[in-house]
Structure 1
Amino acid sequence: MSADPAAAEREARKALEKTPNDARALLNLGKALRAQGRDAEAAESERKSIAASTRDARHRRVAEAMRAGKTIEANQLLQRLVEENGEDVLALMLFGSQASKGRQYELADQLLSRAVALAPADPNARFAMADHQVRTKRFEDALATLAALPDEMRKSEGAQSLEAECLGELGRVKEQLVLLRDIAASSANPLQYNLRIGHALRTLGRQEEAGKAYRAVIAQIPAEGTSWWSLANLKTTKFTEADIAAMRAGLDHPTAPVENRIRLNFALGKAYEDRKDAANAFRHYDEGNRLRRSIAPYDPGAISTWVDACIATFTAEFFAGLSQGGDPSNQPIFVIGMQRSGSTLVEQILASHPKVEGTSELNELRFIVEAIHQQKPVALEKAMAALSPDERRQFGARYLETTAIHRRTDRPRFTDKMPNNWLHVALIRSILPNARVIDVRRNPMDCCFSNWKQLYARGLDHSNALETMGQFYADYVRLMRHYDAALPGFVHRVIYEELVADVESETRRLLDYLGLEFDPACLQFHSTERPVLTISAGQVREPINRKGIDAWHPFERYLEPLKAALGPVIQEWRI
């Protein structure tokens, strides 16, 4: 195409006289018009280019393959289309979306960015980019992309639904709730939004209203498992005989999807546990976990191997050599450990201090881990150990920059309560040497049993079996014990049972470690108003209590596989 926009326009129009529906010529015309400032005409030409592509036989084959679930075939066809014509907007868009769904995020970025650049006025390309940005946890970017959509599409149900998801993930839950209610009011299928409204209300601590939202769905679809499990997950619902009968009927439905049966089994487990019927409770929890394993198999060897590698690599000598590098900020407070260990309680106590902002379980450290792995094509622990002082400083600064989107106040310190960051204590020390790390630990029998009977939305597949849950906990203790020796004083440990027994003394000890003065507000943590995005959202709004201590005892006869997996950690978990 000519470098002169007017000449390029003439060339494109001449080509279109011969072939009016030539997608490439239409796109070239759009680029030429846009270069002349004729944006409206350019947008129309870009739209016609994409429409012409949909009529192409090869694009139709892609659509047929995708409809048939033949992902590999569809991706191969799309790859060939993009290789032959790097300006095929439709192929770029579809291939980018497929790459994003397949977790090929860097490739998806390249493809979708190219599609948006070629057809900046095409709403579908921008929507595909926003969807990808949500999938990669770039929620602020996704909001900006959605805001750039034309009014009609920006106000569409799909775009508003995606916007609501972003708001929730960014902790702007009150705004999310307003938007979800608006969408539900005009949607042809409001029930799906009642579920999300319930989740938002639960996050805000409005448990009773959340329960009503879930019940509204059940009233229309009595066997809907997500609503039953969401009710159970409030931890305050008292299920009636009629509730139990409805859930059991849902299990007996001959065409019930496995995901629905999983949720119903976990909800029934909670219902029977509340009735102190350990046998039936265990039976349903066990069946729910068996079904989970059938669709989400887990290999515990990967974590054990990683722990071995960290112990061998990140020695006392390694840390002694980190005299320089990393970002010097002391803002981050990492709260780590197992899920269901009391970490949300510790975060809520800290968030009640006037100098600490509670955020949520942030993914930013994981993204840095992935970036390091891509940057250095060697074993991950070796890539981390090989970071130069300047690289460590850059990654520390990147962490602070990317976590800033989760900040809502000007408080000088903030929490990052991603429990599995225990896997990357060495990286935290390397890139943020003045950060603080709090390891919240709970009795392994209570902690592991609580995880095993908790249905997580995604990931955490180690909790699907008592054996793998026990091994995961044992590996965690093994690695943290190593860091206690190799990096003495860097990690502060809070024992959940000791915190419950003497909250003031343990809170004072915690604040001393952080270099903060004691504030009485920390003892009134249950009165602190803030969105809590974890499953403990309701529990941290109650005064301190012993409800979760020794909850495993009624089930002891069933827990021998857990005891065997934990081994000596059962007795030695505090050290």
Structure 2
Amino acid sequence: MPLKKKKNKKIKKSQLTKLINVSDSVLAPTVQMPLQTVTQRISQAIENGNNNQAKHWLLQVIEQCPNEEEPPVLLMNLLSRNREINEAELLAKKILRLYPKSAEVLQTVAAFYRGINRIEDALDILNSALPVAANKCAIYRNIAFTYTTMGNTEEAIKAFKQALAINKRDIYAYWGYLRLDIKNFPEALIEDLQQVLQACSNDKKLLAAGSFTLAWYYEKRDLQRYWKYLHIANGAVDTSAEYISTAGQNNHRLFSAEHLAAQPAAQPPEQRPVFIVAPPRSGTTLLEQILGAHHLTKGTGESLAFNHAVNETCKAHRLTHAIKDWPDEHMPEYAELLNKSFLRFPLIKEAKGHVVVDKSIENFKFVGAILSAFPQAKIIRLRRHPLDTLLSCYHQFFESSYDQLFNLDALANYYLEFEQQMDYWETAYPNQIFRVKYEDLVGQPEGIIPELVKFCGLPWDDACLSHHTNVGTIITSSDIQVRQPVHTKAIAKWKHHEKYLAPVINIIDPVYPLDQY
């Protein structure tokens, strides 16, 4: 589900003038100021991306205003977004005790649990929120999204219908319902959605969600309308900011095969993780499910566990996130902390005794750091035809933190960055990166999948050829497609849309000729 701004229960007006003691940092002096001023500063800090400052102020507000629901909900969302999972879990338990009948708190904690694969817990919490929620439509919608991640399409559609029966203006309910059953989606609901969209043209998120829904409906019915609504949807989210390349920012001079630390020949499974590296919509969820079907592995989806490890290392040693600037003499120490922080991440801890299969979207930036922390890790570079990849990206409603995915020019430049970064890593580690084409994976699964399993250092398991019969929770935009057997239907879809993809072709073709893919 795309990110949506939370409409938190507001702090009572009578409390806004209350004076509280706050400091700008742990060492700064404490001063008194009205709660209203502090909340304004928190909002500004979050808007500016100064999350640590916002977190520091929120903790002080929560301590001095224990009866207010909004601050812990804000902090819960902040910790979840920053993947500070351990702190978020502790806070979730605390606010469930403090506000057991708050629908806002229950929804927030349920969304967090769904994000870390605690699906049954999320569902239990949402069901407990129904009797106390004023906005039952939102609860039913979130129940539906939770069933969707479980692959329970029948219950998901039922819950989406219940949401729309309560409120026909709930655009996210249309969005979720249509994704599950485009072929049989009632035309009357499309007419209702078009009317609803006319009334919310000023809300960019709702305009995007509704326009994506209409685009998907018309994809196989009217190509011109499909692209009309696709442009409206992406344009509503696109920041129009120039895409800033970060290629090379993590290319430390010590990242090469020669500098890998000597390791014992045999390592426990948790020290041999598999990282699938590819742009979004390249087939990473499919490949993760194929490898994750093996009895010795555990798929962790887009866990962002290594991002978490980098953040923890930066905090512990006061480093910047530009790994190329980390001092040479301390790299072994940093690699050790990266290793420990990754293994402590909740989703990774749950996989203990298994080989982790991770497909986080930003892993391509950290390949050198990954192999320094885990010298026996396996890197799989998955490639799909660039035009199919980028068409599929433009077709999807991604989380708002990936602004480059809502603009065709920026998408093309993002693709170039990815390819150039991975070319660099393949040069640095020629024997530790396995390159595979999506088209070969789905076209010749009986030949390619055994090669991949062997590369990962695993014995053969027939389950890898029938992954779709045992798919668990999926929290990505591929949550529906991956539950099907391997197929070739998504190959060369770009040929039907070539004239609309001219901006992408003009950027990519001079650098990576498309006829040589």
Change in 2 beyond 3 A, CA 1:89/1:509:
farther
Alignment of 1:21-40 (within 5 A): none
1:555 correspondence with 2:497: yes
Q: CA deviation at 1:182?
A: 2.1
Q: CA deviation at 1:93?
A: 7.7
Identify the residue that residue 358 of structure 2 maps to in structure 1. Answer: 416
Change in 2 beyond 3 A, CA 1:258/1:115:
closer
Mapped partners of 2:179, 2:294: distance in 1: 28
Using CA pairs below 8 Å that are at least 6 residues apart, which structure has the higher relative contact order? Answer: 2
Change in 2 beyond 3 A, CA 1:119/1:263:
closer
Mapped partners of 1:550, 1:284: distance in 2: 22
Q: CA deviation at 1:457?
A: 2.7
Identify the residue that residue 82 of structure 2 maps to in structure 1. Answer: 136
Alignment of 1:104-119 (within 5 A): 104-113=50-59
Whether the 8 Å CA contact 1:78–1:95 is kept in 2: the answer is no
Please state which structure has a larger fraction of its residues in helix: 1
SS at match of 1:440: strand
1:166 correspondence with 2:108: no
Q: Alignment partner for residue 307 of structure 1, among 227, 242, 247? A: 247
Q: Alignment partner for residue 271 of structure 2, among 330, 336, 347? A: 330
Mapped partners of 1:423, 1:573: distance in 2: 25
Q: Alignment partner for residue 441 of structure 2, among 499, 502, 524? A: 499
1:204 correspondence with 2:135: no
Alignment of 1:500-515 (within 5 A): 500-515=442-457
Identify the residue that residue 42 of structure 1 maps to in structure 2. Answer: none
Q: CA deviation at 1:474?
A: 2.0
Change in 2 beyond 3 A, CA 1:389/1:572:
farther
Once structures 1 and 2 are overlaid, which stretch shifts more, 156-165 or 373-382? Answer: 373-382
1:291 correspondence with 2:236: yes
Q: Alignment partner for residue 469 of structure 1, among 411, 424, 431? A: 411
Whether the 8 Å CA contact 1:171–1:406 is kept in 2: the answer is no
Q: TM-score with structure 2 length normalisation? A: 0.85
Change in 2 beyond 3 A, CA 1:379/1:544:
closer
Alignment of 1:140-289 (within 5 A): 140-149=86-95, 151=97, 153-234=99-180, 236-253=182-199, 257-275=203-221, 277-289=222-234
Change in 2 beyond 3 A, CA 1:379/1:417:
closer
Mapped partners of 2:16, 2:365: distance in 1: 50
Q: Alignment partner for residue 480 of structure 1, among 422, 438, 449? A: 422
Q: CA deviation at 1:266?
A: 1.1
Whether the 8 Å CA contact 1:444–1:570 is kept in 2: the answer is no
Q: Alignment partner for residue 353 of structure 1, among 294, 303, 313? A: 294
Once structures 1 and 2 are overlaid, which stretch shifts more, 340-349 or 184-193? Answer: 184-193
Q: Percent identity?
A: 22
Mapped partners of 1:127, 1:264: distance in 2: 27
Whether the 8 Å CA contact 1:319–1:487 is kept in 2: the answer is yes
For 1:186, the aligned partner's letter is V
Whether the 8 Å CA contact 1:373–1:383 is kept in 2: the answer is no
Mapped partners of 1:55, 1:287: distance in 2: 40
Mapped partners of 2:146, 2:407: distance in 1: 30
Bigger radius of gyration among the two: 1
Gaps of 5+ in 1: 1-49, 63-76
Q: TM-score with structure 1 length normalisation? A: 0.77
Alignment of 1:360-509 (within 5 A): 360-371=301-312, 375=317, 380-384=322-326, 386=328, 387-402=330-345, 404-408=346-350, 410-509=352-451
Once structures 1 and 2 are overlaid, which stretch shifts more, 187-196 or 227-236? Answer: 227-236
For 1:265, the aligned partner's letter is S
1:543 correspondence with 2:489: no
Q: CA deviation at 1:122?
A: 6.4
CA offsets per residue over residues 211-234 of structure 1, 9 Å max, x none?
232233333433432222223333
Mapped partners of 1:310, 1:138: distance in 2: 22
Gaps of 5+ in 2: 1-10
Change in 2 beyond 3 A, CA 1:342/1:131:
closer
Cα RMSD between the aligned structures? 3.5
Whether the 8 Å CA contact 2:348–2:356 is kept in 1: the answer is no
